[in-house]
Amino acid sequence: MPQELDQLESTALLELSAVETLPHLEEWRVRYLGKKSALTSALRGLASLPADQRKAVGARANSVKIRLQTDYEAKLHALSLSGIDESIGGASIDVTLPGRPVPLGRLHPITQVIQEICSVFARMGFQVIDGPEVERDYYNFEALNIPQDHPARDMFATLWLDSKEDRAARLLRTHTSPMQIRIMEEHKPPLRFVVPGRTYRYEATDATHDWMFHQVEGLAVDTDITLRDLKETLFEFCRSVFGRDTGVRFRCDYFPFVEPGGEVAIECFQCKGGGCRLCGSTGWLEILGTGMVHPDVLARCGIDPSVYSGFAFGMGVERITILRYGVDDIRHFYSGDFRFLRQF
Ligand code: PHE
């Protein structure tokens, strides 16, 4: 048995020295180190040998195995390296070829529009901050003049995180307006802030509604802010985003936390006021809700309404993006479909 092993070792090593290619090396490995090799069966057969031979034969078989393995690995390394040398040496490299294009990532369209909106207001002196998406009833409703059982709660289908009877109940904010309260609690006027962020509504989705969307809230409070400041600021915003000669309209609307409340619309850029499907034949596209901060809201935040006044506004980012780019379904934004996203 030991002689056979010696013989096996010298044949194997001799053959190995003649191997010159990786495929041949693999054949060699299968023949001498594979599961069906003579060496493997010798090692397996150890158990059936008489006890006095087992130890010596086992030791020799192992040493052969280790030797073959080591030489195999050295050969593998050498052949792999020379393979690389060959492929580089053989082929000439054309250094003037243009590089392979690296696909670039980009910002999500909603992020782009949020950044644009915020930068328009930043130019007008507004600070940009964000706030919590999980809110308390107090900030989302109570402090905004929407107590429990107020019919205005129906404007906001709410995703509750706790029982809604509980006055400290948590919810997913239905608008960014709770940040009006948080800002006025924390900062003394003069104040000028914009707050972009996610908002949530408990609603079935369709082409124009999603259960999650983004708003940008704005708030300005100072000693003599009037409706005129509101209109000038928001009209300037609309013209910056939609074009200098866009027609802009202010109309009264109702929100419990502002008085008077209003909505700002721009002239429909598709039909230029003539009436089309985009604007529902009205000629106008509603862009945001706004109003003068209600005196009770100011007072609740410790700001004296006989000294200070302010305006607030809130706009839907998806809606603005949809109108601007003619997107036919709000659900595209979060579908993760690159064919859609790459267009922006
Ligand atoms: N928060 C209101 C909404 O989501 C919009 C709004 C904000 C209205 C600020 C007035 C003032 O519809």
pLDDT at 262 (0 to 100): 98
Does any ligand 1 atom lie closer than 6 A to the CB of residue 65? Answer: no
Residue nearest to atom 12 of ligand 1 (CA): 289
Among 177, 195, 233, 290, say which to mutate for ligand 1: greatest number of ligand atoms within 8 Å of CB: 177
Give the other-Cβ count within 10 Å of 69's Cβ: 14
C-alpha of residue 258 to centroid of ligand 1, in Å: 9
- Which uninterrupted H or E stretch holds 121? helix 109-123
pLDDT of residue 90: 65
**Domain limits of the chain?**
2-90, 109-341
Question: What is the domain class of 109-341 according to CATH?
Answer: alpha beta
The predicted pLDDT at position 138 comes to 96
Instruction: Return per-residue pLDDT of the chain as tens, 344 residues.
Output: 678 888 888 888 898 888 888 889 899 999 998 888 888 888 888 888 888 888 888 888 888 899 999 999 988 898 888 877 777 766 777 889 998 999 888 999 999 999 999 999 999 999 999 999 999 999 999 999 999 989 888 888 999 999 988 889 999 999 999 999 999 999 999 999 999 999 999 999 998 899 999 999 999 999 999 999 999 999 999 999 999 999 999 999 999 999 999 999 999 888 887 888 888 889 999 999 999 999 999 999 999 999 999 999 999 999 999 989 989 999 999 999 999 999 99
What does the pLDDT read at residue 37? Answer: 85
Ligand 1 contacts CB of residue 218 (under 6 A): no
Query: Closest Cα partner for 158 from 173, 143, 177?
Result: 173
- Determine whether the shortest distance from the Cβ of 314 to ligand 1 is under 6 A: yes
Query: What is the distance in A from the centroid of ligand 1 to the CA of 210?
Result: 17
C-beta of 310 in contact with ligand 1 (< 6 A):
no
Does ligand 1 have an atom closer than 6 angstroms to the CB of 290?
A: yes
User: Is pTM, for the whole model, over 0.75?
Assistant: no
At residue 107, φ and ψ (nearest 5 deg) are -80, 145
313 CB near ligand 1 (under 6 Å): yes
289 lines ligand 1 (CB under 6 A): yes
Ligand 1 contact via 312 beta carbon (within 6 Å)? yes
CA dist 142 and 258 (Å) reads 14
Q: Show the CA angle centred on residue 55, arms to residues 49 and 58, nearest 5°.
A: 80
CA 174 to ligand 1 centroid distance, Å: 10
CA of 313 to the centre of ligand 1 (A): 6
